[in-house]
Amino acid sequence: MNGDGTAATGEIPVDGAGDPRRNERADLSAVRSLDRTILLCAGVILAGITLFGRYGMLPGAACGAAIAYGNFYLLRKILGRAFSGAGGRKSGFVVSYVLKFLALVTAVYLVIRSGRFDLLGFLLGLSSLVAGVLLEGLSRAVEPR
């Protein structure tokens, strides 16, 4: 046994550090944290619009935030299925990813083309995804190891 917790061959960790279930739980925790951060950013954007009294922007911002979160949710499901250790065929990954992308482009096009939503509010809602990812990345960068 070496001092670093590996067997004498240096290949197999004996202390459970390479336990794939532990890594899966950590990944799931990170995704849940990112989910909450994105939803929190969407809520802050909606609250800010309300606070400044721009009520006409609220439907557009809510629609943009819903599209952004829906896109993230579908992306997480597609990538989770593609990279899961369950095995099996993963050829549907590319097709489902392309279909998700086309659905996103179509939804954004239809919302903008309809003219029923304030464009600035819609863009603010869509930005909740980017803001959530940035905030989550910053919080993980400054947290102690």
The pLDDT score that the predictor gives to residue 14 is 47
CA angle 133, 92, 82 (to 5 degrees): 45
Residue 15: inside a domain, yes or no? no
Would 86 be classed as within a structural domain?
yes
Within a domain: residue 73? yes
* 119 domain-assigned: yes
Number of structural domains (the chain) is 1
Residue 79 lies in a domain: yes
User: Domain for residue 5, yes or no?
Assistant: no
Q: pTM score, two decimals?
A: 0.74
The reported pLDDT for the residue numbered 35 is: 87
Q: Mind listing the pLDDT tens digit of every residue in the chain (145 residues)? A: 555 555 555 544 444 455 555 555 556 677 788 889 999 999 999 999 999 988 999 999 999 999 999 999 999 888 888 777 655 566 677 888 899 999 999 999 999 999 999 999 999 999 999 999 999 999 889 988 7
Give me the domain span that covers residue 47: 20-140
Task: Decide if 99 is inside a domain.
Answer: yes
Residues 129 and 68: beta-carbon distance below 8 Å: yes
Contact 128, 38 (CB under 8 A): yes
